[in-house]
Amino acid sequence: MTAIANIQASGLSSSHNLGQIGVNAYSTSGGWTYKLDGTWTYLPNGVVPYSTIGASQISESCESVPLADWQFVKLPDVDVFKAVTVSPEIENVVAFVESGQQQDMTIPERPSKVIRRDGRRFEVLQQWEGIVTDLEGDVFVAILRDLTDRTSDDEIAEIFLAEVPDADHPILKEGSAFYWIIGFEYKRGGQKSRVSEIRVRRTPEWTIQKIERVKKRAAERFQRARPNG
């Protein structure tokens, strides 16, 4: 297939040094990864000759995508570079900028293979499970259970509603459970950011019939657990 990595870069100008740029190509079997990197210079004609790109291989058996098969092209009028190659073995490419202010972007020709959070590196410092006890205006109050250190006592916290993603606002109400996670996120370029994420816990609606079945099951278990059960 033809694999295309679009590399988003902002504010390009002639002879703009893009810094380190890499393209990883993953094989269909997941058995190898091929990496191109080097210092790119944007030329006035918009073409970045591949001869300026260094190549390195991460695993041993990746010679099937030789460096010369990659073409790097600046698209007209937009700050996007295309890295293109053709190989029956390539399933997915991920392009990234290792330094500078450019952002990375991946658009393989077969978008079904994109997993946006692939490779997300996150070091969790603290995690809680919370139950909303009160919701008023732009804040809510919650009881927090420490999932990082289960010996800790529960805590009560007042949290700004703005901390919760908009998509979860409709289901955030008294009694809602949520996960709150704080940690460091590591970007591909090595940038480390402190991140706080709240996600309201989602569970299917309980029907009357289901509640009855669960009650029955609990009663059976209770019966079995009794000494003479």
Partner 1 sequence: VSQSKSSAEIQGVTVFALGSFNPPIFQPFWFSKNNLIREEEARDAVVTIITNEVTQFTADWLSVLVTKERFTVETKDPTMHLPLRDVAAGTFGVLEHTPIRGFAFSRFQHFRLPSEDDWHNFGDYFAPKQGWTGIFPKSGLRTLVMQDHRGADKPFNYKTVRLEPSALVQFGVFVQMTEHHDPLAATENPDNRLNEFIDALQSSWDRFLADVDDCSKHLLTVYKTAPSK
Assess 30 for contact with partner 1 (CB under 8 A).
Answer: yes
Among residues 113, 96, 114, the alpha carbon closest in space to that of 105 is found at 96
User: Quick check: 181 binds partner 1 (CB under 8 A)?
Assistant: yes
Residues 89 and 102: their CA atoms lie apart, in Å, by: 29
Tell me the three state secondary structure of residue 96.
strand
Kindly tell me which of 101 and 148 has the beta carbon lying closer to partner 1: 148
* Choice from 47, 75, 114, 219 touching partner 1 (CB under 8 A): 114
- Please identify, using beta-carbon distances, which residue of 47 and 114 lies nearer to partner 1: 114
Q: Is 191 helix (H, G, I), strand (E, B) or coil?
A: coil
Could you say which of 199, 212, 215, 219 contacts partner 1 (CB under 8 A)? 199
Nearer CB in complex with partner 1: 102/106: 106
Q: Order of strands, edge to edge, in the sheet holding 121-136?
A: 155-160, 139-146, 121-136, 177-186, 192-200
With respect to partner 1, which residue has the nearer C-beta, 32 or 40?
Answer: 32
Q: Is the dihedral of CA 182, 183, 187, 193 positive or negative?
A: positive
SS3 138: coil
d(CA 80, CA 101): 14
> What one-character DSSP code corresponds to residue 208?
H
Q: Does 59 bind partner 1 (CB under 8 A)?
A: yes
Could you say whether residue 211 binds partner 1 (CB under 8 A)?
A: no
Residue numbers 63-102 binding partner 1 by CB under 8 A? none
How many residues of this chain bind partner 1 (CB under 8 A)?
43
Interface with partner 1 by CB under 8 A: which residues? 30-33, 58-59, 111-127, 129, 147-148, 165, 167-168, 171, 179, 181, 183, 197, 199, 201-205, 210, 213, 217
